[in-house]
Amino acid sequence: MSVTIKTAREIEIMRHAGKLLEQVHDGLSKLIRPGISTWEINHEGEKMIRELGCVPSFLHYNGYPVSICVSVNEEVVHGIPKQDRFLKEGDIVSLDAGLMYKGYHSDAARTYGVGTISQEAQRLIDVTQQCFFEGIKYAKAGMHLHEISSAIGRYAEKFGYGVVRDLVGHGIGTCLHEDPQIPNFVCKSRGILLHSGMTLAIEPMIDIGTSDVRWLDDGWTVVTEDGSLSAHYENTIVISDGEPELITLSK
């Protein structure tokens, strides 16, 4: 599949899909506390998505069993919610959610501390979010894709963090995952030329320790090889001639 350029009408729909997903994340953020199960977070998230008249993008995607990816501590992404997995004080948890509205997807992830967390953990969360913002300084028509990738990777490396290489960001639209793939690390190649109307999900995944990850036997959950904490931050954006539009983040 090649990279798609969305029309103004398509972007209008995606803008709305993004706004609705932001509402879901706002609702999810209020649930985070010691003692809640990861299963309940998924249950509430799926309910919110459906009440907004949307379809959860992740449910049954390549067999993924639930609607919200809930990844705790050393889990990088694609954690599978469980009835007997409870958040505890000091954990960090990333919530990744996607929804489809009128045939178009939006995709966003946030990482939260549960109760009081270590300074080390908070810094990882903050730097991962800032990686996204460093990257999108280059998210503009006329720039090349890998300038975004390299800016993300350079910023994370300043802190000595591991940048996950086995998973990447992606184009998004009528499919959850469209071309191009968007690495989060420093690249030698320039990548494709960015055009107005491209819609991209930029999603740095950053580890305190090694960048190496492995997949658990459930076939989904990705964890850091060394067991160190990992954070994830993602928004869906629209490329234009000026500043990128962050459709899953209004504030």
- Residues near Co ion, by CB under 5 A: 107, 201, 203
Question: Does position 58 bind ligand MF3 by CB under 6 A?
Answer: yes
The listed partner (Co ion, ligand MF3, none) that binds 78, CB under 5 to 8 Å by sort, is: ligand MF3
- Contact by Cβ (8 Å): 217, 181: no
The listed partner (Co ion, ligand MF3, none) that binds 110, CB under 5 to 8 Å by sort, is: none
Q: Which residue is nearest to ligand MF3 (CB)?
A: 64
Question: Does position 96 bind ligand MF3 by CB under 6 A?
Answer: yes
Instruction: Give whole-number Cα distances, 63 to 27, 60, 84, 100, 179, in Å.
Output: 26, 4, 21, 17, 21
SS3 label, residue 69: strand
Question: Does position 75 bind ligand MF3 by CB under 6 A?
Answer: no
Instruction: Give whole-number Cα distances, 114 to 34, 61, 121, 161, 237, in Å.
Output: 6, 28, 11, 21, 28
Question: Does position 25 bind ligand MF3 by CB under 6 A?
Answer: no
Instruction: Give whole-number Cα distances, 126 to 18, 50, 120, 131, 221, in Å.
Output: 22, 31, 10, 9, 23
**Residue among 101, 123, 137, 113 at smallest CA distance from 248:** 101
The listed partner (ligand MF3, Co ion, none) that binds 215, CB under 5 to 8 Å by sort, is: none
- Cβ proximity to ligand MF3: between 180 and 242 the closer is 180
The span of 4-12, 60-68, 115-123, 126-134 binding ligand MF3 (CB under 6 A) equals 60-68
Q: How far apart are CA 186 and CA 94, in angstroms?
A: 24
- Cβ proximity to Co ion: between 114 and 182 the closer is 182
- Cβ proximity to Co ion: between 203 and 207 the closer is 203
Q: How far apart are CA 178 and CA 45, in angstroms?
A: 24
**Residue among 105, 125, 126 at smallest CA distance from 21:** 105
Tokens of 204: 């740095």
Question: Does position 69 bind ligand MF3 by CB under 6 A?
Answer: yes
- Cβ proximity to ligand MF3: between 25 and 78 the closer is 78
| Binding to ligand MF3, residues 190-249 (CB under 6 A) | 201, 203, 234
Please report, as ranges, the residues that interact with ligand MF3 according to CB under 6 A. 58, 61-62, 64, 69, 78, 96, 98, 107, 109, 170, 201, 203, 234
